[in-house]
Each structure stands twice: as C-alpha cells, then as structure tokens.
Structure 1
Amino acid sequence: MSGRTAVLFDFGGVLTTAVLTAFAEFGAELGDSRLPLRLLTRDPESSALLVDHEEGRIGQRAFEEGFARRLRAHGADIEAVGLVDRIQSRLHPDPAMIRLVADVRAAGYRVGLLSNSLGDDCYAGFDLPTMFDAVTISAEIGVRKPSRRAYLIGCERLGAAPEQTIMVDDLEQNITAAELLGLGGIVHRDAESTAARLWPALQPRGQNLN
C-alpha cells in the first residue's frame, strides 16, 4: 500500500470515540454489557432492523421500537424513545482524528467520508461538507459497508479509483471488504497509529496528485 492519493474515513469509532465501547456502556446500564451488540450481530430480527435503518428503509423511531422490543425479550427494561440518543451520548469527537483529516486534506490529498449511519441526526456538530471533499452516507445511498457498492460509490464521489484510495475504519470486516476491491486499508485504533500508517501510504508530496 503506497502511492495513494485519496482517503475515505469512517465516522463512528474513527472521528469519534469507540462505538463498541459506547454499546458496551449502554448495555451495562441495562445489566449486560454484551447484550446490545450480541443482539445486533447474532439475533436475526435485530440484525435486520439495523440493516434496514442503516440503509435508509426505516427511520430512527422504527429502529428504536423494534430494537427495544428485542432487548425487552432478552430481559432488559427499556423504553424505545431515546434509545439511539442514549447510545450516541457516549460518543464524543476525537480532536486528533479531526486534525488528521484536516492535515491530509491540506497536504493536497482528497478526503471523503464513508459512513454507516445510526440515528436521524448522528452527525450533529460536524460540518461534514467543510471537512470533506465528498460525503457518502449509507442511509442516503441505500447500501452500507461492507457492501461492494458502498465503497465504489464512495470512491466515485471522491473522484478516485479504488486503487488510489485508502479506507480508514474501526471494523476489521469493513477493511477486509475494501481491500478486496483494491483499496488500501487501515484498521483504526487510535489517531497516532493511524497517522503512522497513513502518511507513508500516501503519494509523496511534490508529485502530481491528480
């Protein structure tokens, strides 16, 4: 992975604190830190709700009602209204990653957002059109990562071929899918290690980036 000229960044867990931690903290409030993610990954009804929401077929309210019902079926005492907000309240911007996005863009590389959305207003507080050259959100395009189409649309909007592009994501399965299409991949853990891998993978400054 070298000589790349564009970067696609995930949102939750990359530009924010860890999504998995937020779900675990939410679950701990319900009495089982593993329950929310266990349902979303292993319970067919919960998984289908998440896919339908992230791909824009149902809104936040319908997702909350359905997921709250599945949580209650597994012993959690929870109301549907505000469920997503309770999870998102545990996510906070990561200033170091936001600076990295700005620094990469200022150095002349194209930067884009490719995000699976959760909630009707999960990007509040972020001026995405100012931060990125292109923004691709799953609910708006009707497909989510790790679908092949999601990466291709993200690259197309960014004006870069997959072979020119690096994907930064906190979920390993999303990086595996991106690499199958020719994108370079960085599994994000923290800003320092991501930056240490990203800068050497980009085409050296001074060369033609177009």
Structure 2
Amino acid sequence: MISSSPQVTDVGGAPRPSAVLIDFGGVLTVPLRQAFGALGEDLGVDADEALRVLATHEGARSALGEHEVGRLDDEGFEDAFAAALSEVGGRRVEPRGLLPRLGAHMELDEPMVDLVRELRTAGVPVALVSNSLGRDSYARIDLDELFDIAVISGQVGIRKPSRRIYALACEGLGVEPEHCVLVDDLEHNLVGAARLGIEGILHRSAGETIARVRERLALPASATP
C-alpha cells in the first residue's frame, strides 16, 4: 500500500525525497567499464572491447536483454557473449565461466555500501533496483541487511528503464514515486524513472553521490565517519 503520510517539502512546495532506489552494478560496485576492462584483459582483448561488444553487437545485446528479464540463463548468455567476442576479435573465447570472471572484478565500492547502511540506520526506506547479470551477481552483499526490498529484473521479468520496475519498487516500499530518488549510473535509467516522477541522481563518484543524497534527504554530512 502506498503511504499517505505527510511529506516534507522543499522551498516552493516540491516534495523532498523520503526514500531511495539504488542500482547495483556501477553504483555499489566499481564502474562497469572498469570491471569489463579487467575481463577484457583476462581474455586478451582490448580493455574496452568486452563492454563495446556487449553494447553494439546485435547477438550479444539481444542475449543480454533476454538474460536480464530471466528468459535466458547464465550459460545461454555466456554462449552468446563468447560467440560475439570471438567473431569480433578473431579468436575463440571460451564461454564457460565468463560471468563468474566478470563478477570477480565487480568489487564493492565500500563508501557507497556504507551510504546504504547509513540510510537504513536513519530510517530511510531503501530499495535495490537492478538489472541482473548472472545468478551470483549479488553474492558479495547481504540483500536483507542492506535493503528493505530488492527488485531484480531477472526475478520480476522486467528490466530498467521500464517504468513498471520502478513502480514495483515504490509499491514495495509503500512510498509514492514523487517521494523517491533513484541513484543510477546510466542516464536512460533515470529518464525512465522520471516518467513516474522519481527524482534522479546520476552516479559518477562516491563522494559526489553521497553528498547529493545526504543533501536531498536532509541527512547530516558527518553521519558516516
């Protein structure tokens, strides 16, 4: 049920956010470019090649979309991604283990994880809203500790930037969309959320994002050592 409790407003009458939706890969972890670059080095390809292939190769892009909504399993995605890398790079890439190898490079950005803990301690509702990539994507974190709810694309069959996935997160938190802020590293995900009235913070660095989240939710700047 959506909460109807009074909301704090900014000067001018706009509602101040009272809940946070937050992405995983590239926000609570190191940047995706860094992780895919390290995977490319593992595979003996140019540091930017793996991510570029995933973004531009039709077969890889299609497989990613199917995987993110749960219609293609890890092995099916690995097969398609490896085939695309092999085609573009001119050398065979072994598919098995591609996702775990990528996951090994998705190191947590600890200040961002600490921000989530800070929000929970302050009583701010927090939802993970993430496009899944591999069945073990979230093995590094305790979902129950960090989030009130986790809305993961492969589990709900909807991926960002669909408005429906953000609506599910808001409903799960019991908060109206206009009282939420989304932290994401991809502009088009913020655009999708904005269609519901969700404020966006484009993540570029932990320091900048933490300061902006604290400011928008009126949290003390010194809350986390």
Give the CA deviation at 1:180.
2.4
Give the CA deviation at 1:33.
2.3
| Whole-angstrom distance in 1 between the partners of 2:199 and 2:190 | 8
Residue 160 to residue 76, structure 1, CA distance change in 2 (3 Å): farther
Listed as ranges, the gaps of 5+ residues in structure 2 are 1-13, 221-225
Q: Which residue of 2 aligns with 1:4?
A: 17
Which structure 2 residues correspond to residues 89-128 of structure 1 after superposition, within 5 A? 89-128=104-143
Larger radius of gyration: 2
| Whole-angstrom distance in 2 between the partners of 1:87 and 1:121 | 11
Aligned AA for 2:137? C
Q: In 2, are the aligned partners of 1:2 and 1:200 still within 8 Å (CA)?
A: no
| Whole-angstrom distance in 2 between the partners of 1:35 and 1:160 | 41
Give the CA deviation at 1:18.
1.1
Aligned AA for 1:90? H
Q: Which moved more, 1:53-62 or 1:190-199?
A: 190-199
Give the CA deviation at 1:78.
1.3
Matched, 1:54 2:68: yes
Which structure 2 residues correspond to residues 61-210 of structure 1 after superposition, within 5 A? 61-74=75-88, 75-202=90-217
| Whole-angstrom distance in 2 between the partners of 1:196 and 1:112 | 19
Give the CA deviation at 1:64.
0.4
Q: 1:127-159: per-residue Cα shift (whole Å, max 9, x none)?
A: 101211111000000011111111111111121
| Whole-angstrom distance in 2 between the partners of 1:31 and 1:104 | 40
**RCO comparison, higher one (Cα < 8 Å, 6+):** 1
Aligned AA for 1:121? D
Q: 1:159-210: per-residue Cα shift (whole Å, max 9, x none)?
A: 11110100001112211221222111111122211111112212679xxxxx
Partner of 1:58, secondary structure, is coil
Per the normalisation by structure 1, the TM-score is 0.91
Aligned AA for 1:16? T
Q: In 1, are the aligned partners of 2:24 and 2:129 still within 8 Å (CA)?
A: yes
Q: CA RMSD in A?
A: 1.7
Aligned AA for 1:62? G
Aligned AA for 2:205? D
Partner of 1:92, secondary structure, is coil
Partner of 2:21, secondary structure, is strand
Q: In 2, are the aligned partners of 1:2 and 1:203 still within 8 Å (CA)?
A: no
Matched, 1:17 2:35: no
Which structure 2 residues correspond to residues 20-59 of structure 1 after superposition, within 5 A? 20-28=33-41, 29-59=43-73
Give the CA deviation at 1:2.
5.5
Give the number of aligned pairs.
Answer: 205
